[in-house]
Amino acid sequence: MQRRHLLQAASAASVFPGLALADDKYPNKTISWICPYGAGGNADLRSRQLAKLMGEILGQSIIVDNKAGAGGNIGTEAIAKAKLDGYTIGMGNFAPLAVNHALFKKLNFDPTNDITPIALIERGPLILMVPADSPYKSVKDVVAAAKAAPGKLSYASGGIGGTHHLSGALFEFAAGIDMIHVPYKSGAAGTNDLMGGQVQMMFEQMYTAMPAMKGGRLRGLAITSKTRSPLLPDLPTMGEQGFPAVEVLNWQGLIGPKGLPPDILKALNAACNKALQDPDVREKMLGQGMEIGGGTPEQFAALIKAESPRWGKVVRDAKIEPE
């Protein structure tokens, strides 16, 4: 009898490599949450908020491990190549999952076939901003100036291939204009130079743009969502300004390696959905203009599948290459 149970356990282990014996309830040890970006940014802060709550829900500690570099590729690769035991999960972001396949000549992971989407966490729009003393009062003003002087106006970004950059590239295509892209090491650095007048404009994340706008240092011209934000009801959309194609939402969600056992995937998805109902987290996210995620793994997978070809085309058409 004992030998038969051992054989059954061995058989289960062969089906789900790295999975603990069936008698061990998941999770029974600390979980590692990889964030593919550095400390202090939104991906890191949201990782820490959700990891704490999900750890309480699952009854085990979840420790955030920042593995930054290569546009998010290093950390995402670490998640993709982790054991299929549910003890290494992480943040899956817009660029590594929907952009970098077209941006980099070689990736050591396949965003489509090497990861398991667990749950969308959030998504949110960007705002086209100019300095407070800028002569441009509308998107049409920017387009007119850019057409009058091709290759003269500049827009900042937090780095090549991110949503700041791609929003600008998409705007150039939609408006038929030619501008200069000025990449910085971070969105904050780009915003600082925008305030100082070194660049003329920038598509910035809403949660970063709002304080600068309310402080009177920057002016918002349009938001990249389909509808206006209740936080900024007087700010028109890019569509209202005549450019509906410039609809951009930055997003991130929880992912794991491909082939997570169904029971572990179900447990992680349920914990993430429950964490997103926390009143404090919801207040923080909604106050930043973010749309709260949640839902099924299949819904998050569908978002990734829809976004990947769209942004791959923008990268190829604009001939964007990594630094």
One-character DSSP codes across 102-119: HHSS--SS-TTTSEEEEE
Residue 308 DSSP SS3 = helix
- What is the predicted pLDDT for the residue at 306? 95
- What is the predicted pLDDT for the residue at 323? 73
Domain with CATH 3.40.190.150 in the chain: 2-123+251-317
Three-state SS for 310-322 is HHHHHHHHCCCCC
**Mean per-residue pLDDT, 103-130:** 95
What the block records as the tokens of 119 is: 């749950």
Question: Would you tell me how many other CB atoms lie within 10 Å of the CB of residue 155?
Answer: 27
CATH code for the domain defined by 2-123+251-317: 3.40.190.150
Do the beta carbons of residue 157 and residue 164 sit within 8 Å?
yes
Percent of the chain, pLDDT > 70? 93
Does the pLDDT value for residue 9 go beyond 60? Answer: no
Backbone angles phi, psi at 318, to 5 degrees: -85, 0
Residue 29 DSSP SS3 = coil
pLDDT level of residue 185 (50, 70, 90 thresholds): confident
Domain with CATH 3.40.190.10 in the chain: 125-223
pLDDT in tens, 61-105: 999 999 999 989 999 999 999 999 999 999 999 999 999 999 998
> What number of helices (H) and strands (E) belong to the chain?
12, 10
- What is the predicted pLDDT for the residue at 284? 94
Do the beta carbons of residue 44 and residue 66 sit within 8 Å?
yes
Does the pLDDT value for residue 7 go beyond 50? Answer: no
Percent of the chain, pLDDT > 90? 84
What is the spatial distance between Cα 286 and Cα 290, in angstroms, rounded to a whole number? 5
CATH code for the domain defined by 125-223: 3.40.190.10
